[in-house]
Structure 1
Amino acid sequence: MVVDPRLLRGALQGRLIVSVQAPQGSPMRDPSVIAAMAEASLANGAVGVRLESPEHIGAVRQRCPGALIVGLWKRVYPDSSVYITPGWEEVRAVWAAGADIVAIDATARFRPGGEDLASLIERSQRDLGAPLMADADSLENGLSAAACGCQWVGTTLFGYTESTADQRPPAWELLPLLRQQLPPETALICEGGISSADQAARALAAGADSVVVGTAITGVDLQVAAYVERMAAGR
């Protein structure tokens, strides 16, 4: 498989990826709005954008043909707590929509229908040639995903799984451990809990090659609600 040079670790070092997403029911969850925010992020120096759903990936690809897109699809299944691109159907749809790299849940949790993570990674790369970002929650799962063939490993799910529910992102302690033990060619992405430029710089110093920031930049709904809640509590 020939990997896009933009996805290589060296091309990402010290660079920002902006997660451009909006929750269900938000007026911001409109393909044209998502595409505009993505274009603004790229125009101001972001190396790429992280997008949710084939519809939004397609809208950004049309508006920003040269964009580096990390794509995923959040889908909920009754038999599993895995929801970030949980299976083959979602991987195939994200790739077909125009993503350059597909982000998948790389935790050890039971997947919908009992699908095996290693088999999903192998099939995605064999049948599609799709590079993958492993959204991990622990050292063990990050290393396992890399060993199975994921080109990027992210700390995305640290603090968000049942086994890490007592932890709070950013994954300051996890980053240096992953960097020390991941293969040299595997890109390490800090994602989750980064709320300032100083924290992003700290993540790089801790071993991350690139940092994903979402809510602090594009999370209008959550940011406004947090201000309103805090101000109401102070009245």
Structure 2
Amino acid sequence: MIDKQELMEQIRGNIIVSCQALKDEPLHGSEIMAKMAIAAEQGGACAIRANSKEDILAIKLVTKLPVIGIVKRDYPDSDVFITPTLKEVKELLDAKTDVVTIDATSRKRPGNLSLEEIVNYIRSQSSAMIMADVSTFEEGVMAIELGVDLISTTLSGYTAYSPQLQEPDFQLIERLSILNKIPIIAEGRISTPSEAKKALECGAFSVVVGSAITRPQLITKRFVEEVTYLNRNIT
């Protein structure tokens, strides 16, 4: 597991690539995600964000980059799906992920386990850093008070009460960064190099880019929609 200070120096001002593919996506599979991580490393990524114990283990075998781990899992009694319970936390710790990422929104968690209980459990079991995925400024402040190491703006737009934007939530990035408490990781709908640059200018410590790099079906769709729009206007 990478030293905390070394990890921070490595990701500062750089691009983290999210290598994820869910079961219904064409690139699903740990072997494919490992190759995607190799490609990201060759392109200059400073770290990988990965989903599931299996993918993390596969990626750690083929790349030296630190891994920011999550486990996405749906539960019937909650909308929280990013590392929602201790079961998922334990899977990440078993995979020796460098960073354990948890949903830090104010939504009800499965089984009513509190965010504080999850943070305390991770601290008692591992030296892994903790990243809190938030959707609002208030959730970011709450996560800071709980003592997490990093905050990511991942869930802005994915809760009913957060801004429903087409572009990245630059305002949230800037507001949290101004607090100057802990590093803020910009993530969510960052689709172009210029948007990544703007996120850093807003104070982000580093930037996570996912779908714009690692989901070819969505990249293709963007091109097709643009060309379709152009053809429609021509005719």
Would you say same fold, with TM above 0.5? yes
* TM-score (normalizing by structure 2): 0.92
| Residue 50 of structure 1: aligned partner | 49
Deviation at 1:205, TM superposition (A): 0.4
| Residue 220 of structure 2: aligned partner | 224
Deviation at 1:140, TM superposition (A): 0.9
Query: Partners in 2 of 1:22 and 1:12 — Cα distance?
Result: 23
| Residue 179 of structure 2: aligned partner | 181
Assess if the C-alpha contact under 8 Å between 1:3 and 1:131 holds in 2: no
Assess if the C-alpha contact under 8 Å between 1:158 and 1:168 holds in 2: no
Which deviates further from its counterpart, 225-234 or 143-152?
225-234
Query: Partners in 1 of 2:223 and 2:26 — Cα distance?
Result: 19
Match of 1:112 among 86, 110, 114: 110
Match of 1:137 among 135, 138, 142: 135
Q: Deviations over 1:193-221 (max 9, x none)?
A: 11111111110000001000001111112
AA aligned to 2:162 is T
Q: Deviations over 1:93-136 (max 9, x none)?
A: 01211310011101000000101001111111112233111101
Cα 1:182–1:143, aligned 2, differ >3 Å: closer, same or farther?
farther
| Residue 210 of structure 1: aligned partner | 206
Query: Partners in 1 of 2:68 and 2:6 — Cα distance?
Result: 12
AA aligned to 2:6 is R
Cα 1:165–1:202, aligned 2, differ >3 Å: closer, same or farther?
closer
Assess if the C-alpha contact under 8 Å between 1:91 and 1:102 holds in 2: yes
Equivalent position SS for 1:104: strand
Which deviates further from its counterpart, 67-76 or 163-172?
163-172
Does residue 158 in structure 1 map to residue 156 in structure 2? yes
| Residue 25 of structure 2: aligned partner | 26
Which deviates further from its counterpart, 67-76 or 142-151?
142-151
Equivalent position SS for 2:18: strand
Structure 1 gap segments, 5+ residues each: none
Equivalent position SS for 1:137: coil
Cα 1:168–1:122, aligned 2, differ >3 Å: closer, same or farther?
farther
Structure 2 gap segments, 5+ residues each: none
Which deviates further from its counterpart, 133-142 or 164-173?
164-173
Equivalent position SS for 1:17: strand
Deviation at 1:166, TM superposition (A): 3.1
Match of 1:93 among 86, 91, 94: 91
Q: Deviations over 1:125-183 (max 9, x none)?
A: 11223311110111111111122121010100011101115344411111121011141
Query: Partners in 2 of 1:168 and 1:140 — Cα distance?
Result: 21
AA aligned to 1:214 is G
Cα 1:217–1:197, aligned 2, differ >3 Å: closer, same or farther?
same
Equivalent position SS for 1:103: strand
CA RMSD between the two structures: 1.7
Q: Deviations over 1:60-96 (max 9, x none)?
A: 01112x2210000100000000000111110110121
AA aligned to 2:56 is I
Equivalent position SS for 1:49: strand
Equivalent position SS for 1:163: coil
- Between Structure 1 and Structure 2, how many residues are aligned? 230
Assess if the C-alpha contact under 8 Å between 1:143 and 1:182 holds in 2: no
Query: Partners in 2 of 1:69 and 1:12 — Cα distance?
Result: 11
Assess if the C-alpha contact under 8 Å between 1:6 and 1:68 holds in 2: no
Equivalent position SS for 1:60: helix
Which has the bigger relative contact order, CA under 8 A and spacing at least 6? Answer: 1
Assess if the C-alpha contact under 8 Å between 1:136 and 1:158 holds in 2: yes
Cα 1:86–1:169, aligned 2, differ >3 Å: closer, same or farther?
farther
